């Protein structure tokens, strides 16, 4: 269900890719997490006609319209995604030794946050359309970002 939502979004809403152009679209299912409440977070990397970026697909299991779940997709260019990563790194340094959460708006649909537990565990939190909050450990985020970088270099 969620596996191909980013592909559909890219084909229908970002680039309007026709069936004759589909062989020019290269995608990688970079990261996926489903939490115990049914929230789904997917990060899909893509390349199409020299354009590189990611689609963040979010599903809040409580965000239902009739019988349909509402996927929320956010498109970030390669530069925007790298900028988001740098902002996480900067906020983590800024927050060192503190136990407060720092939230910042990335764009009109996307908020990011750094939180730290009393056990010094760092979480990178992503808010999509103020509907879904996804928490990734620093290690999970770094793994996803490195996989994105590897995809770009291939």
> Within its chain, how far is the Cα of 99 from the centroid?
24
Band (64; pLDDT cuts 50, 70, 90)? low
Phi-psi region of 66 (alpha: psi -120 to 50; beta: other; left: phi over 0): left
The model's confidence at residue 65, banded by pLDDT at 50, 70 and 90, is low
pLDDT: is 75 or 5 the higher one?
75
**pLDDT tens, residue by residue, 36-50:** 777 888 999 999 989
Residue with tokens 């970026």: 53
DSSP 8-state class, residue 75: E
Return the pLDDT at 7.
80
Q: Tokens standing for 9?
A: 């979004």
Range of the domain at 118: 5-153
Helices (H) and strands (E) in the chain, counts: 3, 8
Total domain count, the chain:
1
Closest to 141 measured CA to CA, from 56, 38, 70: 56
Q: How does pLDDT run across 91-117, given as a tens digit for each residue? A: 888 776 666 677 889 999 899 988 877
Would you say residue 31 has pLDDT above 80? Answer: yes
CATH code, domain with 57: 3.30.2450
């Amino acid at each position: 269900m969620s596996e191909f939502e980013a592909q559909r979004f890219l084909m229908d809403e970002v680039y309007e890719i026709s069936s004759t152009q589909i062989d020019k679209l290269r995608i990688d299912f970079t990261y996926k997490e489903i939490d115990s409440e049914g929230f789904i977070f997917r990060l899909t990397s893509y390349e199409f006609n020299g354009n590189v970026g990611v689609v963040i697909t979010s599903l809040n299991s409580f965000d239902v319209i009739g019988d349909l779940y509402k996927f929320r997709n956010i498109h970030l260019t390669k530069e925007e995604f790298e900028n988001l990563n740098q902002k996480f790194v900067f906020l983590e340094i800024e927050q060192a030794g503190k136990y407060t959460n720092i939230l910042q708006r990335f764009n009109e649909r996307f908020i990011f946050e750094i939180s730290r537990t009393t056990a010094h565990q760092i979480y990178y939190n992503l808010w999509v359309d103020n509907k879904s909050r996804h928490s990734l450990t620093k290690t999970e985020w770094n793994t996803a970002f490195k996989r994105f970088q590897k995809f770009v270099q291939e």
